[in-house]
Amino acid sequence: MEPRRPRALPVRLAVVGTVLIFVVCASWLVYRAVTIPVPEAVLIVRASPAWDGTIASVDGINLGKPREARFDRASKYSLSFHLLPGTYTLVVRRGDIELERYDFVLTRREPLRVRHLPDTPGAGTATTRPSWPFGIDFRWQNH
């Protein structure tokens, strides 16, 4: 008795199926490579250790949701945001308190912005008069 030969049809179907799977995967990768925008610009925010734990957030029309990062020792108090050219706003906050706000534009001609924060949070905020506790009102202030 002669040994059985494998049938040609299942072998051909397996080869055709493998080629189809490869073509579909390669087409999907090429499509994704063409349609995903590549960030061409960068914002670098640098701070001192006094800013430890604060959160930097970048928002703009090109972003679906704001991008956030935290200043800490691991990041060496330097954060970078890779973005598309456009108009953005950087907000640095600790909890619910906004400490810094910076509006900026990134273009293809100027794709890099570096923002140095003050040595201590709130150092750039000038006070015009001291705040008095408990709403004390002095008569001589009204005259």
Q: What integer pLDDT is reported at residue 130 of this predicted model?
A: 53
Q: Are strands 86-94 and 97-106 parallel, antiparallel or unpaired?
A: antiparallel
Query: Distance between CA atoms of 49 and 68, rounded to whole angstroms?
Result: 18
pLDDT of residue 88: 93
Ordered per-residue pLDDT tens for the chain, 143 residues: 666 766 788 888 999 999 999 999 999 999 998 888 888 889 999 998 989 889 999 998 888 899 999 999 998 999 999 999 999 999 999 888 888 899 999 888 888 888 888 888 865 544 445 555 555 555 555 54
Determine how many CB atoms are found less than 10 A away from the CB of residue 54.
20
Global pTM? 0.63
